[in-house]
Every structure is written in C-alpha cells, then in structure tokens.
Amino acid sequence: MHAIRIEEHGGPEAMRWTELPDPIPHPGEALVRLGAAGVNYMDVGARAEGGPGWAAPAILGAEGMGYVTALGEGVNDLAVGDRVAWFYHPGSYAELLAVPAHSLVKVPDGIGDETAAAVMMQGLTASHLSTETYPIGPGDVAVVHAAAGGVGRLLTQMIRTRGGRVIGLVSREEKAPVAKEAGADHVLVHSGGGFEERIRELTGGRGADVVYDGGGTGTFRSSQLALRPHGVHAYYGPFMGVPALRPTDLPNSILLTYPVVHHHVATRETLLQRTGEVFDLVLDGRITSHVTGRYPLAEAARAHADIESRRTTGKLLLLP
C-alpha cells in the first residue's frame, strides 16, 4: 500500500508518497480500505510541529471513511463490506488502515462516502460546541470564527437548527457569501481582532452570548470583549497558541473554556450517540457538507498548501 508519511516536521514539502507493507488487523481491529480522508488544520499542525501522538516519522491524517476488508479476532459488530467512518485515527492518509473497531461507526444508507468523511471530525466538533460547550437556545447570539470553513459552516447550521442567531467572521470578502448561505444572520470581514465594537452594535450594546473562537491568539482578546457579562469564550482547536493570561484579565465575568472534542465522545456509547445525531441532521437536510476540494491522496501536500493559504472554504478531501 501507499501512504503520506513525514520523516521530519516541516512544510508541505516534508510529505512523501511512501510505499509500505500492508497492515494486518490485530485482535480488536478492522482492516479498512480508504474511501476518503478529511483534511483538517490539525493535520497541518501535526505535520509542521508534531505534538502528542504525532512525533515524526509518522503517517499523517486523522479522519475518514472506508470499507471493511478484514476483521481481527474478537470483532463481532462489524462485517466485511461495511461502510465505516472515524473521526480520529492517526495515520488516515493511507490506502489501507488497521483501525480499532471501537473507533469505527457504520455509515447509514442515504449518506454518501464523501459526506461521511466530511462530517466526522468537523461535525462532532460543531456538535460539541453547540450542545455541551454552550448549549444554544432560542434567541442566543453566537459569534462563529471562520464561518465559511468546514467547522464554521456546520456550526452555523447547527446553531440555526437550535434557534440561535449567528454573527459570522470571515477573513476575506469572497468568503462572506458562503457564510451567508450556511445561515449566518450577519457576516463581518476581519483578518484579525478589532471586531468587538461591531458585534456590540449588532447586539444592541449587550454583546454576544458565546464566541466560538478557532482564530488563535490574534483574535483572543477581541473575542472576549465581544461577549455579554457571563458570556462564554470557547477557544477551540489544537496548534493555535496559548495567550498569556491572568484570571483578572477576563472582562465582564466571562467564562473561558478550551473544548476538546474527545470529551464529547469519550466512550463507545457517546461516540455512537453523537455521530448518530450528526448523521440524523444530515439525513433530515438540516445540515449539509460543503466539499470544495478533492485531491488524489498522493497529492496531499497540495491540499495542505491550499488550506494553509486561508483561501479555501468548506471541506477538503483526499481520494485514493
């Protein structure tokens, strides 16, 4: 089989199309033939910087869908031929993967391969943010960073299904229509901070109930200043940097949280429950994936260069 592997951390040029032995499923694992792998900013950070579980050398990628081709001993709830998806399995940029069976969920009929790959990590992240991090209720005002991106677009749709209103932030004017199409009530174009006054204007001086901030340190302070008293600043996503902060720096008695999607699906039961909820939203037409880039798996470096340019919208997929 072939996979995208790095020998050391660096830019997209560090990614190599490498021939490796086919994996063999151990007890409790399923052998999966890749159907599509999702590209996430986490993959970029893992390639460039590493981090827990991502020490080089490594096969990149964490999310995808595929087809079960063999089962290891003790796997009883899957069958050869099943379509399955996963939101986190290091080494997903590969033609074949041996994946722990407890990490796999069956893809329902009615959900296509590309959609299944597109909504796993980003859909579960959006679910976590809108239901447990800050449970959106009718009339709540949420600020969504990168509202034209994969997470931002799904998050906007989920907020609207729960009766909330969305102020979307995008980095470029051409991304504004994408955020509007997803359901944002207002869209602001900002490449960094400085948006808090405009958000206060849009909320009658009150401030937003929650800011979902995947923008990193450059937007950290403005996100907090845009909140109402006791509002929630959800600072999410790995590899964003950690601002220096004292508790007394927090304005308006706001609450600061760092949501980690693994806590949303900490057990097999919650993984099945939460992915089932996301799949139901897709099947009912309440959320839609927005795949805007499809690349051969061998050209994953090009996908990384594109997503790092900040010019992409929606979801990027790698296809074997």
**CATH number of the domain located at residue range(s) 132-261 in this protein:** 3.40.50.720
According to the model, what pLDDT value does residue 109 have?
Answer: 96
**Three-state secondary structure of the chain:** CEEEEECCCCCHHHEEEEECCCCCCCCCEEEEEEEEEEECHHHHHHHHCCCCCCCCCEECCCEEEEEEEEECCCCCCCCCCCEEEECCCCCCCECEEEEEHHHCEECCCCCCHHHHHHHCHHHHHHHHHHHHHCCCCCCCEEEECCCCEHHHHHHHHHHHHCCCEEEEEECCHHHHHHHHHHCCCEEEECCCCCCHHHHHHHCCCCCEEEEEECCCHHHHHHHHHCEEEEEEEEECCCCCCCCCCCHHHCCCCCEEECCCHHHCCCCHHHHHHHHHHHHHHHHCCCCCCCEEEEEEHHHHHHHHHHHHCCCCCEEEEEEC
pLDDT value, residue 313: 81
CA distance 93 to 301: 11
Name the residue ranges covered by the structural domains of the chain.
Answer: 2-107+290-319, 132-261
More confident residue, 220 or 192: 220
Q: What was the pLDDT predicted at 238?
A: 63
pLDDT of residue 310: 78
- Give yes or no for residue 237 having a pLDDT over 80: no
Task: Give me the pLDDT at residue 312, please.
Answer: 82
- pLDDT digits over 162-197, tens only? 999 999 999 999 999 999 999 999 999 987 889 999
Average pLDDT of span 266-289: 97
Whether the domain at 2-107+290-319 and the domain at 132-261 fall into the same CATH topology? no
| pLDDT surpassing 70 at residue 239 | no
In this prediction, residue 262 carries a pLDDT of 95
* DSSP-assigned beta bridge partners for residue 166: 142
pLDDT tens digits for range 41-83: 899 999 998 988 899 999 999 999 999 999 999 999 999 999 9
Domain 2-107+290-319: which topology? Quinone Oxidoreductase; Chain A, domain 1 (3.90.180)
pLDDT tens digits along 90-110: 999 999 999 999 999 999 999
pTM of the model: 0.94
Tokens of 252: 């308006």
